Structure 1
Amino acid sequence: MSATPPHFFLVAGEISGDLIGGRLMASLKKRLGPDVRFSGVGGPAMTAEGLESLFPMQELSLMGLAEVLPHIPALLKRLSQTEAAVRAERPTALITIDAPSFTLRLAKSLGDAGIPRIHYVAPQVWAWRAGRAPKIARKIDRLLALFPFEPPWFTKHGLPTDYVGHPVVEGGALSGDGDRFRERYGIPASKPLLTVLPGSRQGEVTRLLPVFAATVELLAEQVPGLQLVVPTVPQVADRVAEAIRSWPGDPLLVTDSVVKFDAFAASRAALAASGTVALELALAKLPAVIAYKVNPFTAWMLRRLLTIRYAALPNLILDEPLMPELLQEDCNPAAIAKALAPLMLDTPVRGGMLEGYQRLADAMELDLAPPSERAAEVICRHVGLG
């Protein structure tokens, strides 16, 4: 009689977590064979790997107090439903992915079930509310971290924590083809390209587009023949397309992720809103300036809550100001253009940033297996599957 196949119950609550979950499932199948079973809550990426979601993941994808409050009764019902399903199915392990407001509550409720509880994506206690770390340590049995500096924040509280790498490593930033991009759009090799990334949310593109427009006006005066490439996402593409019609540099709008990474490889520098894209740019070895602003009240609150010195992920990982960060009052066209200009030429500033990118690659252990495979290895070891 053959042994019962391993069975993992996964719960993701957001699109980013669904992508992580889908890659993890593929890696678990690669490691354990096609008979491994999955159940839980996920989105399209996890469904494509064989998960039949207990309910639509979108019900958990809520942000902001005003959005969450009306849905609390429904969320509590889903929490109870998910807990009951885990207890009934008795999986090899429960794997929760990000969305800590829901997933860590679920893990805590199953503390008496005798089921290994593994959480993927460490809560950012290093950024704010460090006092959460010992509480988190009591809710789960193992933690998988995205950043190399995160494990000590939790291991000192007795929680086994493994750095497995950031999912952006598997997103394509390392494989852009600059020649392919230039050939696709008929751009000669001598023409200087600047990639401009104004964000992915309506609020941030509304705030940043006017600043970025004035910035590229200034830069175009300093860089003859400047060509702009503006990668964006479908939900804000119309807004961005309308705004860049009046920009100099004959801007190209890009919405495909493969083409975006090709644009990175073809460009001399980038101007980007703060976010995960900063790490993508660093992995693509594209010198960049990070610029961002929020409304004054939000900025006032963040300055009192946050305990970090940097906003850009590469700077956080290296604990140094590798990428210029122009935030709030400093997020103005003159300052941004001044920071960008030396990155468009072969200057010591540009060379220093590229050297820093190599140190970042070393710190992130990019020479090791992809993050999803490292995560699968830790999970299998934790539950005794080799």
Structure 2
Amino acid sequence: MIREMGKLGDFEFAGLGGKNMFAAGLRSAFGDVSTLSTVGFVETIYFLGKKVRLLNRALGYIKQNPPDAVVLIDNQGFNILLGREAKKLGIPVFYYLPPSVSVWAEWNAPKVAEICDHLICNIEADTHIYRKFSRNVYFPGNPVIDKISRFSPDPAFLPNLGLDPAKTTVSIFPGSRHQELKKLLNIMLDAAKILIEKHGFQVLLPLSHEGYRERIERAIERKKLTGKVTLVADDPYSVMNASAVNIMASGTATLESVLMRKPPVICYRIFPISFMIGKRLVKKQMIGLPNIFLDKKVFPELLQGACGPENIVRHALRFLDSDAAYHDELNGYYGLVRGMMGAPGVSLRAARYILKHL
């Protein structure tokens, strides 16, 4: 969206984000904050102090450098507080990718609508709920489709890594958050060990953030998988595309995998208290984004205790060992999800909407 807005006029973007937003043209106010993202309720406590300090600094920055608009992106716990204060200062507030109230916590919709002048949703079902509380709700499509449509596979990707394109390749995506790595990395590496030693597969592990490299390399070494699990930096789409199955932490990556027509095994482990609270808030008893879009549990969701190495391997092998009829069925589901994303150009449409209402 930043990149597309930059094409439409002379704008300055300042705020909070990570390396991809900086590369698109965002001037960082306080450095890379992408690793402060959390999942779960109890898990947030670990970063609470840092987030409160960051919020206060962000508010101070806005007061000293009043922008023409504040664009909130996802991250509701932080952004709802930031948006409320920006609204008090008379600054127009746009929420791009607001909380998915069609999936969980519908009661949150009026609160979100109250602090926002405009809501730009990435799930069409959310618009129907938000429009009960705001007239300024827009669905340009899901921006994931823009990134997918720009991706061009490199046939030399595996050979360049010293791997054999003829061998079955499986990837493990343990997540981009500290808590996900803590809960899922070792379990996924144990699954990888089985896939490598018992089934002769190749395993890729994309590095979500350079700051995690040492931690992941130590874990790989402890599991005696050095030289067997291939760590790949800055190219998650090539990893997904080269893999027959993607073993993934629940999140946007699972949707991206399905849009690439690669089946995900969806993994989710958090503190039990957080899980119990979350179960009370969700409307649909599913956690994987592709399953939520399909309103059907097509892709396996391994939650809490069910998320163990043997179970992960069992579900991965089911995709690999299935017959042509099952793969035809999967292709139908891939197409359905693709149709729900809208046409490419989502970020451009979102950018034009913001400019129109400034």
Normalising to structure 1: TM-score of the pair? 0.76
Is 1:326 aligned with 2:302?
yes
Is 1:227 aligned with 2:202?
yes
SS at match of 2:203: strand
Q: C-alpha distance in 1, partners of 2:33/2:212?
A: 22
The equivalent residue for 1:208 is 184
Give the conservation status (yes or no) of the 8 Å contact 1:220–1:249: no
1:3-82 equivalent positions in 2, closer than 5 A: 24-31=1-8, 33=9, 36-38=10-12, 40-43=14-17, 52=27, 55-56=29-30, 64-65=44-45, 67-69=47-49, 72=52, 75-76=55-56, 78-79=58-59, 81-82=61-62
**How far has the Cα of 1:131 moved from its partner?**
1.6
**Pair 1:84–1:354, CA change in 2 (3 A):** same
The equivalent residue for 2:41 is none
Consecutive unaligned residues of structure 1, counting only runs of 5 or more, are 1-23
Q: C-alpha distance in 2, partners of 1:141/1:153?
A: 16
Is 1:123 aligned with 2:103?
no
SS at match of 1:41: strand
1:57-206 equivalent positions in 2, closer than 5 A: 64-65=44-45, 67-69=47-49, 72=52, 75-76=55-56, 78-79=58-59, 81-83=61-63, 85-86=65-66, 91=68, 93-109=69-85, 111=87, 116-171=92-147, 175=151, 177=153, 179-206=155-182
Comparing 133-142 and 291-300, the one that deviates more: 291-300
Larger Rg: 1
- Choose which of 292, 296, 302 in structure 1 pairs with 2:272: 296
Consecutive unaligned residues of structure 2, counting only runs of 5 or more, are 39-43
Q: C-alpha distance in 1, partners of 2:328/2:174?
A: 25
- Length, aligned pairs only: 348
Give the conservation status (yes or no) of the 8 Å contact 2:59–2:82: yes
- Choose which of 239, 247, 253 in structure 1 pairs with 2:215: 239
**How far has the Cα of 1:71 moved from its partner?**
6.9
SS at match of 2:329: helix
Letter in 2 for 1:37: F
Comparing 199-208 and 325-334, the one that deviates more: 199-208
Give the conservation status (yes or no) of the 8 Å contact 2:73–2:96: yes
Q: C-alpha distance in 2, partners of 1:334/1:75?
A: 42
**Pair 1:67–1:164, CA change in 2 (3 A):** same
Give the conservation status (yes or no) of the 8 Å contact 2:5–2:11: no
- Choose which of 233, 238, 242 in structure 2 pairs with 1:256: 233
**Pair 1:217–1:42, CA change in 2 (3 A):** closer
Q: C-alpha distance in 1, partners of 2:54/2:234?
A: 35
**How far has the Cα of 1:109 moved from its partner?**
4.5
The equivalent residue for 1:378 is 353
Give the conservation status (yes or no) of the 8 Å contact 2:196–2:228: no
**How far has the Cα of 1:220 moved from its partner?**
5.0
The equivalent residue for 1:360 is 337
Letter in 2 for 1:68: L
Comparing 65-74 and 177-186, the one that deviates more: 65-74
**How far has the Cα of 1:307 moved from its partner?**
3.1
**Pair 1:110–1:328, CA change in 2 (3 A):** closer
**How far has the Cα of 1:254 moved from its partner?**
2.6
**Pair 1:303–1:81, CA change in 2 (3 A):** same
Give the conservation status (yes or no) of the 8 Å contact 1:287–1:350: no
Give the conservation status (yes or no) of the 8 Å contact 2:103–2:292: no
Normalising to structure 2: TM-score of the pair? 0.82
Q: C-alpha distance in 2, partners of 1:71/1:160?
A: 29
**1:154-181 superposed Cα distances (whole Å, 9 cap, x missing partner):** 0122342222334433445862526222
SS at match of 1:196: strand
The equivalent residue for 1:18 is none
Give the conservation status (yes or no) of the 8 Å contact 1:178–1:265: no
**How far has the Cα of 1:355 moved from its partner?**
2.3
**How far has the Cα of 1:133 moved from its partner?**
1.0
**1:119-175 superposed Cα distances (whole Å, 9 cap, x missing partner):** 212123334432221122222221111223221120122342222334433445862
**1:208-262 superposed Cα distances (whole Å, 9 cap, x missing partner):** 2443344345445764x3211122232333333333354679634233232x322
- Choose which of 255, 267, 281 in structure 2 pairs with 1:279: 255
The equivalent residue for 2:326 is 349
More RCO (CA 8 Å, sep 6+): 2
**Pair 1:84–1:315, CA change in 2 (3 A):** same
Q: C-alpha distance in 1, partners of 2:287/2:189?
A: 22
Percent identity between the two aligned chains: 25
Instruction: Give the CA RMSD over aligned residues.
Output: 3.3
Give the conservation status (yes or no) of the 8 Å contact 2:248–2:254: yes
- Choose which of 325, 340, 343 in structure 1 pairs with 2:316: 340
Letter in 1 for 2:3: A
The equivalent residue for 1:317 is 293
Q: C-alpha distance in 1, partners of 2:90/2:347?
A: 25
SS at match of 2:273: helix
**How far has the Cα of 1:315 moved from its partner?**
1.1
